[in-house]
Structure 1
């Protein structure tokens, strides 16, 4: 239904109101009504014009930072981390866990539930029809997604499916046709990008099953196994229909077979599963490829429900999560509760003005920043630690999925303003992982305890320093500081003063920045010797700047330069990761003035940076210049503020908001990256964005909205709210003419974090021509 995404925002809202009638009050003041989970819900490589694909978000039901996401899945193999891509024509089931916006090869997508009728099929089959199965075509015009709710009609079976969620549990409601052979079936082996290694299931009583699914690198998943993910999903599921005619299937998969990404969707593998034995008359079963079904008769439009509690700790935990959150609740009650959770969290930022589409893009972006880092501990605070033993939290929520290389740039600087508790949770989660695993250093891309080593740099140090200098300190800072030093020692520029091939530029620059971050913490702790040592290490970027070429150049371990190819600055992967030297070379956030001097002075750098943007294609998809589709350049539009040309920050940030984000499936030009792409939009569209996490400076730019109100957490800071108010703002009037801070003239193009969290009002007076005199004060 809400697939007409290129239509006006007003039509979108009207359609959503129609679909939601009788479910909840769609108060026009509630921000959740603007959430469109279809934005970014595609993995299409063709539409993205690059190997990374588009947003890779999922449209299914979730709660803010919740453990459970009940979402449709259209594909198992390939680089399709959310398990769903909008252009697919069939659905193979509804999983209870999903990843959001990740590149690499995805994971989760566990406990795949599918309602069917007629003959029992035990494989999903192929969308192209090359092998048949239980997957179903679906009617796009009936597909509805909103915050905490999803529904669709499966046309092959005539079944309407609705899903909703609670933090550790969820519920599905199926509206069946009249049929003597209706059923709900569950693929316990299924996993995005692979399979679980072993499964166990047992009947608890006439309405309930419980069990587990063990996932290891041998079954693919995260990074097709290279991400080293090892976890067990435990479930407790209750049906509204009694378990009278139920059974299992168990496939005999040879030990010699590889069970990863492409193998598990191959014809040979599917045919093997198709021959699985059907087991009846038993109440429990364990195996390496199991499924479960419950047959029943239905009358026309009969509603059948299924409730599921999930845990990563044990089966008792799944049952406790279920009982604490959804036992004895109706589907509509759970759906209303989910929407209320979203409205509470989305109101951390309130906006006025802008078009309907802009508000939809904004609140959907804010929604996407609240998927991860998700809860990993149960309702009682238990979690599985880095030693794979059970631990107990008392003062924080254990969280997982830390896409560090992405989210240190915008996602966590946003959360320091609107959700400092979450920042404390994440740091405690990283600290306990480092301790319990015995590694005693921070992981850069954590996934369910896995030290996956994905991407580069030491981003956890950035998140730590940013929190520390802003006064967010609900963790053991001494332990965290030691782990930060250990991390820098293990991954850094120490041996040579720079990092050699293969990613010499990217690694050297990123390690130099996070060493500077350590210096900021050391200053606060009174460790002057450390502060000086890490400040000097933060200058390592100078060691790979080739004065002859006038740019950063990869250096070999023996101190020689790598050959300089034709078009070196725009050659992707030349000394850089997922970028080129032109893009990566701007990453000296810790010493922008030093970078300017190194590059030849302000006039030369301003001209170069201006050309960098002017050569960027208007669609802002993957390109050799300002490549907003990937993270290395996300701070670059705000560098103009430090080049004494703040009007260019205003110009380009507004244009990026306009061109790189849309109210459509293709509305995110690159992978969502676990909240980073959306967090950039949230901050930029409100007129504030940092260049340097670990500093308290936020750059001022041109807001989209007439008024933005940040709710300040009074448990951490003195302010109640901070308001950004624009005057004479429009799509043409993008340039700041003058500013007032708390009623007094303000001529700086930046704010300090304390200005924000102490509460107050920033007023910006806008016009259609740059005021090249405003914002130049550094007093």
Structure 2
């Protein structure tokens, strides 16, 4: 973090809503409030390295350890670095990438060593957090063993590494393309010393992404005076090598100065495209540009509070929410598909790393507010996938379908974009893709269509999958209605009530049901968890997965019998003991408040359900409690996997007082704002302001509200109302006003 706040001139905002006049402002540098180390400890799985918003490269340190908490390549508990690679995952629960590893060192190493453990890697070094820094677009660490100071920065498609060696020391860099951690494994690599400044090559690997191909070029600021080249741990002659694992050690002249800079660009297509992606800026210019673009992105929502720790949590969340998805197409628009075909993105940028099971809930809706220009590109990226596979993506990594997690949640992302008026994609084609996807037979849809639900005796995780397909069906129905396809609307709307089959009125839980349509899965323990197999629930239990009916909460409440019964059962979720039973409990069940598990996404909408049961003060209480207890400014500041922005998006929305409980409805449920003032700058220059008068740690209950000066007495606000601009004003107090927010709340979703 920087020691002082710099002030830079941002763009002139022209406010067209009636409450604002045209003016320009000098705004503070918000990057000083970002701490990229938040989430690098615990189970957050974030990385501290350098990238720009939605950038193609993510250059970051790798600890060299293969373990769940090292999915990003780095964990704050570690003290060893083996190198700095150029592609990383932010907050996922499966590890991959860490491609094209570079490591500066001050001595010759043995490239023939077949390291079977990190301790055997000859170029590793210890480091200390006391000499390590990170800020948006910049990372620095001192390697203690080799006495090299490393600095990293990035542009959209180019990574920069700056090494400062001790005076008189050998200046050398190892490039190891065979290096791999976690699920990843190199299958074919190549290195070529093109000239005294340039190394190029490729790394093909299999792992979570079964067919990942990365081409790269590295351009050094000094000429290579000598080198050693290895293939499969054997030293070879010549200037090029190819094999499953290739590596090289490059040596540079130490007489001129102690500094060495390398620029690295990557491509999924070819070395030629990587060269085209390579930017020409200096390290310092690139670093300044990265900070500027981050400051602009962070300023899309500006919050006012006297509590700096809340600003740190908020702006770090804004940072994490704009790391993924990542740019995938090259400067010329080309990118590689899973089947190795090369296509060109015309009039859009292709994106990868689509963690849709997580991000459809809040991360993607957040982008419709703060980065709407990216949303249509994301939709077009998914439609490009559909062109090849004739099915929409589930979880794509470097254009590979991982089929990780349940449902087809590209569907609500598309519908959310369309309903909010985001243009730039073919709506009819999108509808065709959604309908085709939900009418095929993969991933249990054959059972879903046959029985109206998925029987537990035919497929694991049947309850979660059924509930999520029901929601996807509702989304398809909304798109069908918008496009005038009435018969399809009725068909998918009817299917979206599949949750009726699984609701047990005696217990109040969604339960596994047999293919006979009558028998429940017995014995039943709502606290029981079995991770991903022989279970009715995905990464959770009945307590956590029985609340996913965001498409029709009014009907859902009626199944319980009354608002009072529903709210009582929902309250018990938060007050029940936090014991989780079973011999193979999912590690994803974390951040427990009772049986509520904030560390995993299925719980994220739940606290907002009280609004639809006539008890909005309970939503205000629990949303505030989650904000207070599940986020902090330490490396352990996230209660579960960041999951490509979703954990942070929940905080962003909830902290300003709204949340997309039904993410494709075009509505936001109202919770409990923690900031005195939050200003959303919209794409057309308008602003939407949320004010919370008298808000404090104790004053988190809404007493009254106005919207643009008029009385506001409902617990949701529409996207359309927000994008018109204006002011939503809350009066806050320490005791609940149980009469506020009871108007017009019996809406579906």
TM-score, length-scaled by structure 2 = 0.91
Q: CA deviation digits over 1:679-711, x for unaligned, max 9?
A: 000100011101112211111111111111111
Q: What is the alpha-carbon distance in structure 2 between the residues aligned to residue 753 and residue 723 of structure 1? A: 13
Q: Deviations over 1:654-688 (max 9, x none)?
A: 11111101101000010001110000001000111
> Would the aligned equivalents of 1:616 and 1:626 in 2 still touch at CA under 8 Å?
no
Equivalent residue for 1:667? 637
- 1:393 offset after TM fit, Å? 1.7
The answer as to 2:479 corresponding to 1:518 is no
Distance change >3 Å, CA 623–CA 744, structure 1 → 2? closer
Aligned partner of 1:24 in structure 2 is none
Q: Counterpart of 1:144?
A: 133
Partner of 1:183: 172
* CA displacement at 1:32 relative to structure 2: 1.1
Secondary structure at 1:285 match in 2:
strand
Measure the CA separation in 1 of the matches of 2:65 and 2:633: 27
Q: What is the match of residue 704 of structure 1?
A: 674
Following superposition of structure 1 onto structure 2, how do residues 91-130 of structure 1 map, counting pairs within 5 Å? 91-104=81-94, 106-122=95-111, 129=119
SS in 1 for 2:171: strand
Q: Does 1:60 align with 2:49?
A: yes
Cα distance in 2 for partners of 1:562, 1:83 equals: 43
1:451 aligns to what? 401
Cα deviation 1:436-473 (Å, max 9, x = unaligned): x2x21111111122121111011111111111111123
Equivalent-residue separation in structure 2 for 1:624 and 1:126 (angstroms) = 42
CA shift in 2, pair 1:601/1:571, >3 Å: farther
* Counterpart pick for 2:514 among 556, 561, 573: 556
Equivalent position of 1:290 in the other structure: 246
Aligned with residue 614 of structure 1, among 551, 575, 591: 575
1:495 and 2:450 matched: yes
> Equivalents in 2 of 1:634, 1:590: separation in Å?
15
- Structure 2 distance, partners of 1:214, 1:198, is 5
Q: C-alpha distance in 1, partners of 2:724/2:577?
A: 38
Q: Give how far 1:733 is off.
A: 0.6
Larger displacement relative to structure 2 (533-542 or 172-181): 172-181
Contact 1:580 1:624 in 2 (8 A): no
Say if 2:293 is the partner of 1:341: yes
Change (3 A) 1:278 1:617: same
Say which is worse superposed, 585-594 or 569-578, in terms of deviation: 569-578
Deviation per residue, 1:329-355 (Å, 9 max, x gap): 221111001111101111111111141
Equivalences, count: 704
Question: Post-superposition shift, 1:420?
Answer: 1.5
1:517-596 pair list within 5 angstroms: 517-565=475-523, 567-568=525-526, 570-571=528-529, 574-596=535-557
Structure 1 residues 381 and 641: alpha-carbon distance in aligned structure 2, compared to 1, 3 A threshold? same
377 and 566 in structure 1: CA distance in 2 versus 1, 3 angstrom threshold: closer
Mapping 1:137-536, distance limit 5 Å: 137-179=126-168, 181-193=170-182, 194-216=184-206, 221-222=207-208, 228-251=209-232, 276-280=233-237, 282-298=238-254, 302-322=258-278, 325=279, 327=280, 329-435=281-387, 437=388, 439-490=389-440, 491=443, 492=445, 493-501=448-456, 502-536=460-494
2:615 to 636, 645, 652: 645
Query: Which stretch of structure 1 is more off in the superposition, 762-771 or 389-398?
Result: 389-398
Q: Give the drift of 1:29.
A: 0.8
Change (3 A) 1:704 1:354: farther
Q: What TM-score comes out, normalization by structure 1 length?
A: 0.87
Q: Helix, strand or coil: the match of 2:449?
A: coil
CA distance in 1, matches of 2:162, 2:54: 23
Structure 1 window deviating more from structure 2 (405-414 vs 351-360): it is 351-360
Inter-partner Cα distance in structure 1 for 2:178 and 2:590:
40
Inter-partner Cα distance in structure 1 for 2:637 and 2:198: 41
Is the partner of 1:590 in helix, strand or coil?
A: coil
Query: 1:191 is paired with a residue of what secondary structure?
Result: coil
Q: Retained in 2: the 8 A contact 1:551–1:599?
A: no
Of 699, 704, 707, which residue of structure 2 is paired with 1:733?
699
SS of residue paired to 2:191 = strand
Deviation at 1:33, TM superposition (A): 1.1
Contact 1:586/1:636, CA 8 A, preserved across alignment = yes
Structure 1: runs of 5+ lacking an equivalent: 1-11, 22-26, 48-53, 223-227, 252-275
Question: 2:438 aligns to what SS in structure 1?
Answer: helix
Closer/same/farther in 2, CA of residues 287 and 128 from structure 1, 3 Å limit:
closer
Cα deviation for residue 561 of structure 1 reads 2.5
SS at match of 1:726: strand
Q: Secondary structure at the match of 2:241?
A: strand
Q: 1:132 to 1:206 in 2, by over 3 A?
A: closer
1-side partners of 2:426 and 2:201: how far apart? 37
Give the Cα–Cα distance (whole angstroms) in 1 for the partners of residues 564 and 378 of structure 2.
Answer: 41
Rounded Cα–Cα distance in structure 2 between residues aligned with 1:214 and 1:650: 50
CA-based RMSD of the aligned residues comes to 2.1
Matched, 1:599 2:560: yes
| C-alpha contact 1:161 1:175 (8 A) present in aligned 2 | yes
Per-residue CA deviations over 1:279-321 (Å, capped at 9, x if unaligned) read 34x1222111100111134259711111111111111111011
- Separation (CA, whole Å) in 1 of partners of 2:417 and 2:62: 37
Cα gap change, 1:623 to 1:764, in 2 (>3 Å): closer
Provide, for residues 592-635 of structure 1, a one-character-per-residue CA deviation record: whole Å limited to 9, x for no partner.
Answer: 11111111211111111111112376997247611001011100
* Secondary structure in 2 matching 1:141: helix
Contact 1:556 1:562 (C-alpha < 8 Å) held by counterparts:
yes
2:600 equivalent among 630, 649, 652: 630
Structure 2 Cα separation of the partners of residues 128 and 432 of structure 1: 40
Q: Distance in 1 between matches of 2:211 and 2:130?
A: 39
C-alpha change, 1:207 and 1:161, in structure 2 (3 Å) is same
CA distance in 1, matches of 2:365, 2:308: 26
CA offset digits 1:474-527 (Å, max 9, x no partner): 211111111111211225321110012211210111111110111100110001
Unaligned runs of at least 5 residues, structure 2: 8-25, 580-588
Q: Which residue of 1 aligns with 2:713?
A: 747
Q: Deviations over 1:182-203 (max 9, x none)?
A: 3111101223323321111212
CA, structure 1 residues 353+180, in 2 after alignment: closer, same or farther (shift >3 Å)? closer
The corresponding residue for 1:681 is 651
Q: Is the 8 A contact 1:60 1:145 kept in 2?
A: yes
